[in-house]
Every structure is written in C-alpha cells, then in structure tokens.
Amino acid sequence: MSGAILRLDDVHTDIAQYHILHGVSLDIPEGGVHVLLGRNGAGKTTTLRTIMGLWRARKGAIVFRHHDISALHASDIARLGIAYVPENMGIFGGLTVEENLRLASATGRFDKDRLDRIFDLFPAIEQFWDKAAWALSGGQKQMLAISRAIIEPRQLILIDEPTKGLAPAIIGNMIATFREIGRETTILLVEQNFLFAKSLGRGVSVVDDGRIVHNGAMADLAADEKLQGELLSLSMELQ
C-alpha cells in the first residue's frame, strides 16, 4: 500500500523461549484510526511492543516512513514521532500530572495551544495538575497517558486497550477524543471491545496466534456479522 505510514513485513518476535509473532505482515495507512483486534494472547500487545522497539523482532522488517526501524532502540523510535500508550498506561505514580507531561515534552516546555487543547479534551488534567499521578482514578490515569502521547506533535500513536477496566461513560468520552486526535495523527489501536473499535476504526486487522488473519475496512467488518462471528471468536482450529 503506497500510503502506508507503517509497514510490518513477516515480523517474528520471541519472548524468552516462546515464539509469539509468527510472521506478522501489516500495512497501516496514514491518517485516522486503524484497529488491531484479536482474542487474549493472540499477539496484539507483542505487535505494538515490537513496533516500539521494546521487544526485538527476530526476523522481518518494520518500515516507518521508508526507514527500517526494526533494529532501533525504543528511545530512537520515540524520537521519530511514534508515541506509545501501554495497556497498564505507564504512568509515573510518584510524579505529578504536570511532571508526567513535562517528561513527554521533548524540550521540557509546553506548547500553550497544545496544552489548552488537552485541558479542553480532559478537564481532569488541569484539575489535578499538581497532584501525584498515583492518586488519580483509572479513567484519569488513562486520560493522562493519552495526554502524554499528544503533548507533542506525533506521526503515529500506538495505543493498547485504552478501554480496559473503564466505566462506559468514560469510554463514550474517549470515542470523541480519539476521533479528534485521529484527524491529525495516525492511531494504531489495539482493542478487544468491538463496539468501541468499530465506532472509531477506519481500517481493521485481526491477529490470531501471532499472524494477521484479516485486513480490511472497518465498515465492511461491521456490516458482516458472519465474518465478525468467524474472526472475533477465532480458535486454533481455524488456522
């Protein structure tokens, strides 16, 4: 795909003695939200962590804007403009909300317009600005994790299961927020909540047993209940 911002080509990743990704090949088009779906243990998080350089690909290529990043250190990948929001949010609990954001800002200073936009999206960030992050609720921590990803202009944001453990009301707000962020940045979103994913995703890939088993438009998958049944209740027998 010529408009791909990120391309994974036959990526294999091992964690200790376990072979987790068995040749993931994936094109992420530029702009909007692309969703990576799959059951527990299918390899979604491993895919994100491998892209981010937190786990090393044993084989295959990860090409970001025509540069192979598969051998780069996570810090170098981040400096290319890729942000990562892990499943556990990766908040520094001992730091204040402000310090968490300041750390994510390349210069240590804030762009006022960008910060104001974050305050508009997440009023709790302004409200708890000088409070220790460990004291925030789960939803507020998720807001802080996402704010950290957008405190600087990014080209690609990798987000791992942002709705996990969150109340439905917060998830509703998050859909609007991700739509807004997705207008200017490409988002690769790992999700298990299909309702959340289909309301956001432009494209969708389904991973199972460390391989991509479906690629396509989210609208097509959302309209095809039979395909949903096949893909979203995947079992080893289908491989």
Binding interface with other proteins (CB under 8 A): 52, 54, 73-75, 78-79, 84, 86, 90, 92-95, 99, 102-104, 106, 108, 134, 148
Question: Closest separation between CB of residue 30 and other proteins, Å?
Answer: 21
Question: Closest separation between CB of residue 192 and other proteins, Å?
Answer: 22
The nearer residue to other proteins, 41 or 93, going by C-beta atoms, is 93
Question: Closest separation between CB of residue 162 and other proteins, Å?
Answer: 16
Question: Closest separation between CB of residue 115 and other proteins, Å?
Answer: 17
Rounded to whole angstroms, the Cα distance separating 122 from 15 reads 36
Question: Closest separation between CB of residue 186 and other proteins, Å?
Answer: 17
The nearer residue to other proteins, 94 or 153, going by C-beta atoms, is 94
The nearer residue to other proteins, 84 or 178, going by C-beta atoms, is 84
Q: Which residue has the tokens 């979604």?
A: 44
Question: Closest separation between CB of residue 95 and other proteins, Å?
Answer: 6
The nearer residue to other proteins, 92 or 194, going by C-beta atoms, is 92
CA geometry: angle 52, 53, 58, nearest 5 deg: 125
- Which has the closest alpha carbon to 196: 217, 183, 179, 215? 179
Question: Closest separation between CB of residue 146 and other proteins, Å?
Answer: 14
The nearer residue to other proteins, 134 or 219, going by C-beta atoms, is 134
The nearer residue to other proteins, 154 or 198, going by C-beta atoms, is 154
The nearer residue to other proteins, 129 or 134, going by C-beta atoms, is 134
- Which has the closest alpha carbon to 184: 82, 31, 34, 79? 31
